[in-house]
Structure 1
Amino acid sequence: MYLEHVNLVVPNIDDMLKFYRAAFPHWHVRDEGFSDWYGKPRKWLHFGDDEHYIAFSDNGEGANRDLTGHSVGLAHFAYVTNDLAAVIDRLTNAGYAISNPGVTEPFRKNVYFIDPAGFEVEFVEYQWGLLCT
């Protein structure tokens, strides 16, 4: 079993694509279209690779939850990378700032960014060789 996709309701799909294309340059638009969600029209788009994608639906209303608070909701989601420095370079070069530099641990490096819709995304690189010694 594995997670196939996450569906995020966002105010603007194009803004989201800019962020996620910088993070995942090998991903592509898998499918897109228009539908109706409980009486409200929306554009949707699937962005990912052959195994995983993020589904974006536009026409979102309101603000995302306060990430510094304790209200119920999505805190963050994380992606494992083999080259955290490259991810950081791509995102900062695209104009996105690190929101949290992560913690210092001997077996992993991590960093957090906030995407254009206010979702916190963690990127983590495990030091697998150090785990085995």
Structure 2
Amino acid sequence: MIHLEHINLVVNDIPKMLEFYQVAFPHWKVRDTGQGEWHGKPRTWLHFGDQYHYIALSDNGVGINRDLAGHQIGLAHFAFVTNNVDSVTERLTKAGFQIANPGTKEPHRKNVYFIDPAGFEVEFVEYLSDDPSLRNA
């Protein structure tokens, strides 16, 4: 079996990113942090998650993220499954993060999109069926 363990995001402000993801995942913790070097440039890194999944954040990023309304090559979005998308949405909006896209009306799932502080689009999805053929239609 293969599953996604972590994503590694290069950002310019780890504390702002951590604020967003701590609100989204209140049960996750900072697993480890440290200093390093990447191709001659110093960086701070941080792993935020649980025992099985995490987000790796590295600072000292240069430039801005791709235009999400454009057609540039790059990451479009990534998604997390939740058992209560309304709760995630409420926590994030109460913390001052705005919904980027309220998702589409589907009979077998509910979803919502936010833009994190580094400009990555993050989807949160709640499946309303256990049948994969209905969930993924």
Per the normalisation by structure 1, the TM-score is: 0.96
CA distance in 2, matches of 1:89, 1:59: 31
Which whole-Å deviations, capped at 9, do the CAs of 1:23-75 have from their partners, x for residues lacking one? 00000000110000000000000000000000000001100000000110000
CA distance in 2, matches of 1:102, 1:88: 12
CA distance in 2, matches of 1:18, 1:59: 18
CA distance in 1, matches of 2:105, 2:129: 16
Q: Which residue of 1 aligns with 2:21?
A: 20
Pairing 1:1-133 to 2, within 5 Å after superposition? 1-128=2-129
CA distance in 1, matches of 2:107, 2:129: 10
CA distance in 1, matches of 2:11, 2:130: 39
Q: Secondary structure at the match of 1:128?
A: coil
Unaligned runs of 5+ in 1: none
1:129/1:51 CA distance change after superposition, 3 Å: closer
Letter in 1 for 2:112: V
Unaligned runs of 5+ in 2: none
TM-align CA RMSD: 1.4
Q: 1:128 Cα shift?
A: 1.9
Letter in 2 for 1:29: V
CA distance in 2, matches of 1:9, 1:66: 16
Q: 1:115 Cα shift?
A: 0.1
